[in-house]
Amino acid sequence: RARGYRVKGYDIADLVTSEYGVGLILDNHVNRPAYIKPCLEKALDQTGLKRPQNWGTAAERRLIKAYLKIRETHGRYPMTHAARRAAVTKKYLDNGTISDERGSFQYNL
């Protein structure tokens, strides 16, 4: 919840609340940390999603789907092997280790 990481006035923690989504954001942060904010901004623009406090799982999935495509090509030096990296995280989703349900990522404030 850092001010520098607000995306169109929202905290990233309000936009992405699933274990799967947080895993993808962490992966992006390790590889191209400065690209997270602009990629999420573009994903919000493409999906037209607003007011994340009203979103369900389907809305977050739409945001993540758009975000994954954007991070493959965003910037002068796009995220290294973005699609392959996303596929690794998706394996954990597919085998049930993590969830893409909104609110599944739990943290302590």
Task: Report pLDDT digits (tens) over 35-86.
Answer: 999 999 999 999 999 999 999 999 999 999 999 999 999 999 999 999 999 9
Mean pLDDT of the chain: 95
109 pLDDT exceeds 80? Answer: no
103 pLDDT exceeds 90? Answer: yes
d(Cα 25, Cα 70) in Å, to the nearest integer? Answer: 13
pLDDT, tens digit (0-9, with 9 covering 90-100), for 81-101: 999 999 999 999 999 999 999
d(Cα 109, Cα 106) in Å, to the nearest integer? Answer: 10
The per-residue pLDDT for 4 is 73
